[in-house]
Structure formats: structure tokens, C-alpha cells
Structure 1
Amino acid sequence: MPETPLGAFLRARRARLAPAEAGLPAAGRRRTPGLRREEVAARAGISADYYARLEQGRQRVPTGPVLDGLAEALHLSGPERAYLHRLAVRRDRTTPPATGPSTGPSTDPAVPAATLALLETLDAAPAFVTGPTFDLLAWNRPAALLLAGPERRPPHERNLLWQVFCCPYRDRSPGNTAADRSIGADLVASLRAQHADRPRDRNLLALVGRLSTASPEFAALWDHHRAAPPGPGRLHVRHPALDTAVLDYTVLPLPEEGRHVFAFLAPPDSPTRRAFAAARGSTGTAPALDDATG
């Protein structure tokens, strides 16, 4: 049978849970990393055959208590537990394709005026709005400096995932796509968390396929099946106009589903902050995202 998103998630999380983390002895030879199917089943209080059918996509939608038991057995976080439930409920459903990446300018009319006003209020710091697949929908002038002039990019490059995984400078920043606590890992986890109920969305599948082909780092992180909402972190950049290599950022959810504001802060009274303030009156020359840690 074809692989299901639920089965792929269970298998990936099982493979990444060390026996010691589950309170099991690590002694003995194991043919595969992580836990065995029967170990997960025992911890979840279900039969090994039932669990195997879940992984193989041969079992109907499991009950809530079974899913909660699996979440405990696999040490899932709160967002991953919610993701598991959403996968199970929607595993047999199809959804209409979403719209493709935005091709509008930095004042995209789809972004409410109040949100655009917020970006202008943050005019001394880079801030931009992303959509459900991290398309760049709107940005202020300091963000145009930071993101190398997104208004001049073709539509498929006007995307934060592209900026992290596919920009020409990505090889200089291995921390940017590290498996743990990096901006790349967080973005990929958020992409999964936001789209648990859209496993057959053609636009999402096309984006994942395009990024997987262009970036082995993205493909590896997508296969981790981690799920979490976007959150704050630290971004490292290199640019002659910016004296600091580290920018803290925060992420604010917007009322529209799947949309967020990313806002970056330079150290107070630093040349970097002054460079961003100066960008309010000019477009300038921008760096690419260079290195990041969560």
C-alpha cells in the first residue's frame, strides 16, 4: 500500500527516539536506529500487529486514546501531539489546492492595511509578513535591506524558505540548516505543522519537491517529520554595513490563518541598528541570510 502521512510520521519519530530516551536498555544489536515497532506498541498499550498496520497505512483512523498513547510512547511535544491527531483525522481526506506563491509587490493588497501599518511602525527594524508556505507577502524598508531586495526577485524566490535553503550563500552557513534549533529546522517544522490537514495540496507538494531537489538540507529536515509552530530565534548575517553578526528575531501570529510577522532587532545604539534606520530613506544593498541558530 502507498505510504500515508500518518505512517511516515510514526516511522520517522520511532527511528529518532533512542532506547535510552524511552527508558529501555541499549544493549543488544539493532538492525535499525531508534525503537522497534513492538517496543512502541508496548509503551502505547496496543498490539504490535495493530501498530504495524498503522505504520503501513492498513489501519482505519485510530481512537483518541490510542493516539495519546502513541504520543506518550514517542515522547511527542505538544505541537507534535496535535499534529498526530490532525494527521489521523484527515488521513483519508482531500482538500482543494491552495493558491500559489504571491507575485504581488511589497504592498500586496491581500495584506490588511492594519498589518501594513504595523510594518511601517517597525520602520527602524526589519519586519515582514509571511504566508502559510512562508511566501514574503509584505515587508518594510529595513527588511528589503536584510532580504536583498525581494521586490526584484522572481516569485519563487520571494520566499523565506528559499532564502534560507537555496540562496547562493547558504553553503557559508551550516548552522542555518542544522537539524536542531536552527531557523531552517524551525521553518520546516512549521511548514509541516501548518499543513497536516493538507497532505494532497498540489501547491504544497510542488514547493516541497522544488526545495527538496534544490537543497539536500531541506530534504533531510523534511524527512525528520518534526512539527512545531514558528517561534523566536537568532539570525546571523554578514554584511559590511552591519557590525553585528547576530540578530534576535520574534514571530507574531496574525489573525489570517497561517500568516506571521517576523521582526528582527539589532543591539541598541549599534551601527547595525543605525544602518536599518537609514534604510527607511533608501533601498540600499542587502545581505543574504548567512547563518542562524535557534
Structure 2
Amino acid sequence: MDSENLLGQFLRARRALVRPEDSGLPAGSRRRVAGLRREEVALLAGVSTDYYMRLEQGRERHPSAQVIDALARALGLDEEAAAHLHRLARPASGRRRPGTRRERVSPTLLRMMEGWHRTPAVVLGRCLTVLAHNTLGRALFDGHAHSGDLVRLVFLDPNAKEFYPDWERVAVNTVAGLRSAAGADYDDARLIETVGELSLNSEEFRRLWARHDIRRKTRETKRFRHPLVGELTLDYESLTVNSAPGQQLVVYQAVPGSPSEQALSLLGSLSADESAKAPWPSENASPSER
């Protein structure tokens, strides 16, 4: 994964997704590139074509905040993507280097989650690996080859498209969430390993990663086709864990009185006898030690 010119990569990817007509430009019939040309982005942003080309090529490293705002408008970026563009243009000094430091989950948070008997909950790390879960959270994702890693579950698990009826939407949001969680720190060893493996083994992941979509995991309604209890439609909220930057607490809930609530209750009953088993994904480590 090339991390030498992240700003240029992002600009190229995003201008390829903008249709000329959406920017008030003629589409034409002889376009050789997808999306906007460099000179068109420069025109819309009010900068010279030469200056914009230097930005894409990595030869200009210090664009002003005003230029970045203008580029965000020209590319039609939403607030989150525009903020990401600013981070790429001004990466934080002393960026964290690759390491193998283990991500730990607070024992207090673990106890809190275990008290939620009717609510699946998982704690995710920076690369969307499952660091911890309560009993119902484990039961929701259990039974897959990659139950402990939500990115690998989506793209590498043979049953992913059966488990997620809306797989394409889940895939888009998962990749966008992975980029958002990574921020501008593409030197992280786990991220390099994750992106490398998925790029080699999933054409769909490569296609979506190349789009440079940015979208935090916040809230959504998601459908599951669970092998034990069938269809589930659950709302989730993703909450940042202030005591552990980079971690997310994801809490799922069914609409009261709905068939999904009944199915979730059944899943809780079926999983009650399994709660004494060794925690996954590792049989030799507690969730807080992953």
C-alpha cells in the first residue's frame, strides 16, 4: 500500500467519480478519462492547472486551507470527506509508526456489555477486528470463518453474501469505514496487513478501496440472515470509546414488538448455554487481551 502521496491518490480517485454534468460542465462524447479532467477540477477550484497537477503528483505539499476547501467543493465532498482531505494535506507530526501493540478493552466496559442480555454488542479495533463482545454479540456473528474480523467476514467469508442480504451496501460502507478508522495513518502495521491480504484475495475489495470513500461507522439499519434464527433487521449505533482512542462500541437493537425482536430473543436463549465456552476468535485469550 503506497503511502507516499496520499493526497494525490485521494484527489485522483475522487475526481474520477464526479460526472461533468453534475458540476455544470458539458459531458461531451470524446472523454478519455472517467469523471473530471485535471483542468476542470482546477477551473472549478479557482487554481491553475499546473498547480493542481503538482498537488496530484505530490510535488506540492503545502496547499492552503482555502485551496483545500475549494477542492472539496469542486469534488462535491461531504463534510467527513472534506475533513479527511484536510488531514491528508496536513498530516499530524510524529505520526504513529507500525507496531504490534495489543489493543485492550477496558474491564469496566466488558462488565457493562455483559449486563446487556437482550442487546448484541461488540467492540471494534482500528481495523474493524472484534476485540470483545457480549454473549449475544458473539451469537450474532458466530459460525463464520472470519467471525472475529468484520472486514474479512464481508470480503473473504464464503457465506458473507448469504449472511448479509444487502451485501453490496454493507461492502461499500465497510471499506469506507475502514478508511475512516485509519484516518491519515496508513503506516499502521495491521492496516497494511489487512489491505494487502484483501487486495490479493478480493477483486471487490480492490475496486472499493480504490474509490477512497470515507464514511464513519455511526448508525444504520442492517439486515442479517442468521443460520439459526433466520432474518434479522437490527438498528445499530456506533459509539467512540473515549478511554481507548480508535475503539468503537457497536450496539444492536431490534424494533420492540417486531419479528426481529422475537428472533433476537430466541438467539439469546440458544446462546445462553454457550456463554461458558472459551471466547472467540482466540481460544487462548480473553476478549480484553486481543
State the TM bucket, normalised to the shorter chain: 0.7 to 0.9
1:21–1:101: structure 2 CA closer, same or farther, 3 Å change rule?
A: farther
Residue-by-residue CA offset, 1:110-136 (whole Å, 9 max, x unaligned): 211231133123221211000111111
Aligned match for 1:242, one of 229, 233, 248:
229
Return the offset for 1:283: 2.3
Deviation of the 1:101 alpha carbon: 7.1
Per-residue CA shift, 1:191-235, capped at 9, x if unaligned?
212323312223311111111222222111111101121122233
Which residue type is aligned with residue 272 of structure 2?
Answer: G
Give the Å deviation of 1:174.
7.8
Q: Is 1:159 aligned to 2:149, yes or no?
A: yes
Task: Report the 3-state secondary structure (helix = DSSP H, G, I; strand = E; otherwise coil) of the residue aligned with 2:90.
Answer: helix
Structure 1 residue 100 displacement after superposition = 6.4
Residue of structure 2 equivalent to 1:89: 90
Q: Report the counterpart of residue 188 of structure 1 in structure 2.
A: 175
Equivalent pair of 1:100/1:203 in contact (CA under 8 Å)? no
**8 Å CA contact retained: 1:124, 1:280:** no
Secondary structure in 2 matching 1:224: coil
Contact 1:157 1:163 (C-alpha < 8 Å) held by counterparts:
yes
Residue of structure 2 in register with 1:219 after alignment? 206
Amino acid of the residue matched to residue 264 of structure 2? R
Structure 2 match to 1:260: 248
Residue 198 (structure 1) aligned with residue 185 (structure 2) = yes
- Is residue 120 of structure 2 the alignment partner of residue 126 of structure 1? yes
- AA in 2 matched with 1:19: P
Range moving further from structure 2, 76-85 or 92-101: 92-101
Which whole-Å CA distance do the structure 1 matches of 2:137 and 2:93 have between them?
A: 41
**1:106 aligned residue:** none
The alpha-carbon distance between structure 1 residues 258 and 79, as it changes in their structure 2 partners (threshold 3 A), is: same
Distance 2:62 2:129 in 1: 33
Identity of aligned residues (%): 36
Pick closer, same or farther for the CA change 1:163–1:100 going to 2, 3 Å: farther
Pairing 1:167-178 to 2, within 5 Å after superposition: 167-172=157-162, 176-178=166-168
Instruction: Provide structure 1 residue ranges, at least 5 long, that are not aligned to the other structure.
Output: 103-109, 285-294
Q: Is the 8 A contact 1:241 1:272 kept in 2?
A: no
The structural deviation recorded for 1:4 is 1.0
Cα 1:243–1:169 shift into 2, 3 Å: closer
1:142–1:279: 8 Å Cα contact kept in structure 2?
Answer: no
Instruction: Count the aligned residue pairs.
Output: 270
**Which residues of structure 2 form unaligned runs of 5+?**
276-290
Shift of residue 236 of structure 1?
A: 2.3
Task: Output one character per residue of 1:224-268: Cα deviation in whole Å (capped at 9) or x when no partner.
Answer: 101121122233222353243422222122112111111222343
Match of 2:77 in 1: 76
Whole-angstrom CA distance in 2 between matches of 1:139 and 1:225:
29
Separation (CA, whole Å) in 1 of partners of 2:223 and 2:3: 41
Q: Are positions 1:147 and 2:141 aligned together?
A: yes
Q: CA deviation at 1:157?
A: 6.0
CA distance in 2, matches of 1:280, 1:221: 35
Q: Is this contact kept in 2: 1:241–1:275, CA < 8 A?
A: no
Instruction: Give the whole-Å Cα distance in 2 for the aligned partners of 1:70 and 1:219.
Output: 25
After TM superposition, the score normalised by the length of structure 1 is 0.82
CA contact (8 A) 2:120 2:134 kept: yes
Of 183-192 and 40-49, deviating more is 183-192
- The answer (yes or no) to whether the contact 1:45–1:69 under 8 Å persists in 2 is yes
Work out the CA distance in 2 between the residues paired with 1:243 and 1:175: 11
